[in-house]
Amino acid sequence: MAYGPEAIVLVLAAAGTSVLRLTLPVSLAIAGLLVVLVVSYCQVIAVHPDGGGAYAVGKKNLGAPVSLLVAASLVVDYVLTVAVSLAAGAASLASAFPSLQHHLLESRCSITSSRCAWLA
């Protein structure tokens, strides 16, 4: 979420400066989606007060095939979250230390290695 506003402005700026006026409507649409998400979570919590994640709720209400799809999508989400975090971290390092600008791939790999070593 932290990279959203930057990404919105970057994509709209690439489309042209006259399109930057769409930043507020796009942000409002995202805020509206978040409101729908909160209402949806409130409904799930009301139906499942004992808790349970997306996999458990999907398995109970929609069956095993749907719950496996949910589990696969969660794994993909986690991998993409790490990828975006690594890219943003390397870009931040490159902006703080301009000499690293030409070594973004190496800095992403070193960040990955340090995270893996920390987790092990």
Q: What is the pLDDT of residue 24?
A: 86
pLDDT range class, residue 32, cuts 50, 70, 90: very high
More confidently predicted of 36 and 112: 36
CB 74 within 8 A of CB 55: yes
State yes or no: pLDDT of 66 exceeds 80. Answer: yes
More confidently predicted of 6 and 57: 57
More confidently predicted of 73 and 106: 73
Q: What is the pLDDT of residue 35?
A: 96
Q: What is the pLDDT of residue 97?
A: 82
Largest CA distance in the chain: 54
